[in-house]
Amino acid sequence: MTHFLAKASLAALLALCSIPVTASTAAAAGPQTSLIVEAQYHRPIRGCSPMHAVRKARDFGLRDARITRMSPRVVVVAGRERRGWDRITFANVRGCPLIRR
């Protein structure tokens, strides 16, 4: 009987000692993990950047490409092509999709 009481009291003592250790570890890991997740997955949603539009216009064959007009809806890039001056219009959303050439 004394052997059983000794084991039961040791188990109860270990259970009581482990509760505060678990809570402090969980509390310390919680906010750090959420900050890391926010830093990894939070990206600003932006439209078509002027540098991206000029780079795409150069890929389409425009030389001396420059932004001539930028509005909330469109980005217009003008430059020279083989036949002369030309304009390319991109939508002002992510990825700069081509609207008109």
Please give the residue range of the domain that contains residue 93: 33-100
Per-residue pLDDT of the chain in tens (101 residues, 90 and over written 9): 777 767 777 677 667 666 665 555 555 555 555 545 455 555 555 788 899 999 999 999 999 999 999 999 999 999 999 999 999 999 999 889 999 98
Q: Is residue 64 part of a domain?
A: yes
Look at residue 4 and tell me if it is in a domain. Answer: no
Integer Cα distance of 34 and 40 in angstroms: 10
Residue 2 lies in a domain: no
User: Does residue 88 contact residue 98 with C-beta atoms inside 8 Å?
Assistant: yes
pTM across the whole model = 0.55
Q: What is the count of structural domains for the chain?
A: 1
- Asked whether residue 26 is domain-assigned, the answer is no
Percentages (nearest 5) of helix, strand, coil residues in the chain: 50, 25, 25
- Per the domain annotation, does 22 fall within a domain? no
59 falls within a domain: yes
Taken in order 86, 62, 100, 50, is the CA torsion positive or negative?
negative
